[in-house]
Amino acid sequence: MADVDGETLQVSGQPAGESRSSAGAGTAPQSASAYLNPSYWDERFAEEEHYEWLKDYSHFRHLVRRHVRPFHSVLEVGCGSSRLSEALLEDGVSDITSCDISEVAVEMMRKRLQGKGLKGIKVLVADMLSLPFDDDCFDIVIEKGTMDVLFVDSGDPWNPRLETVDKVKAMLEGVHRVLKPNGTFISISFGQPHFRRRFFEDPELTWSFEYETFGEEFHYFFYVLKKGQRASDETNRDSGEEFIPPPIQYLHEELEDEDFIFRTSVDELNA
C-alpha cells in the first residue's frame, strides 16, 4: 500500500496534470480564466486519468538529477493527474510529498498509488498560496506549470495586476519558508525570464535565480532557486546569452494541444 497522508486540508487555487488522450478535447476550459476556479479542477480530474503539462519527466530528467538526490525530501506543488512524483520515486527519491488544491485529484492519486503498491509518496490537499507545512522541512520544492495559472488574468505582463502580484508573492514566500537552509526550488514554466525575474528576485527572498531551457522548437524554462544564496546576474546555461523569445506563432509546433491553448490564452490576456 502506498504511504499516503490521510489528512485533508481545505484550501484554494491551482493546476497540474496528464490525460489518457489529448487534453484539448474534453478537458480544456472555454476560457483561460477557468483555470483559476477550483471547481474546474475537481470536474476535470473526475474524468482525467493522466495529463502532463510542459512535457513529461523524461524531457527534463537530466536537469532534475543535477539538483535532486535520493536522500532529499521533496515537495511537489500542484500534482494534479501528473506522474512526476512516480518518476522521482523510480529515480530513487523515497521521501516525496505531493499536494494539490483538488480533493478529487488527491483521492485519484492515492488510489493510483495504492493500486500500484507504491510507497514513499504522501498525498494531501493543500493550497499553494498557504502551504500547511513547518518551516525548513523540505530539501526540494518542485512545481510544473502550477504557478503559471496565477498569471492567466495578470493583465500587462510588464505591470501585472496587484491581485496577481500578491498571489505569486504568497506562493513564493510559502515555498521559501518550507525549504530547508540551502534547499532548492525548481519551477518548470512557460513564463519567460524577463517576466519571472521580478518575482524570483524579491529582496525579501534570499535565494539565487538561474534558469535553463529544454525543448526544441519551443523553449520551456527550468528555473532553479537556491535558498540562502544570491546570484549576481541571470544566465541561460544553454547559450550563455540572454534569451530573446521568438513570436508566439513560431512556438506552437512542439506544444501539446492544451499547452498551446493555455499559452496562447495567457499571451492574449496579457497583451
Question: Are the CB atoms for 57 and 208 separated by under 8 Å?
Answer: no
Residue 39 near residue 103, CB atoms below 8 Å: no
Instruction: Read off the C-alpha cell for 130.
Output: 498557504
Q: So where are the chain's domains?
A: 32-270
Residue 157 near residue 113 (C-beta atoms within 8 A): no
Query: What is the model's pLDDT at position 15?
Result: 35
Degrees to nearest 5, angle at CA 208 with 203 and 15? 85
Per the rule left: phi > 0, alpha: psi between -120 and 50, beta: everything else, 116 is alpha
Q: Which amino acid is at 259?
A: D
Each of the 271 residues of the chain gets a pLDDT tens digit; together they read 333 333 333 333 333 333 333 343 456 676 777 777 777 887 888 888 888 888 899 999 999 999 999 999 999 999 988 999 999 999 999 999 999 999 999 999 999 999 999 989 999 999 999 999 999 999 999 999 999 999 988 888 889 999 999 999 999 999 999 999 999 999 999 899 999 999 999 999 999 999 999 988 778 999 999 999 875 444 444 444 454 544 433 333 444 555 544 554 444 444 4
What nine digits make up the cell of 173?
Answer: 514566500
For residue 95, the model assigns a pLDDT of 97
Q: Which amino acid is at 198?
A: R
Question: Which CATH class for the 32-270 domain?
Answer: alpha beta
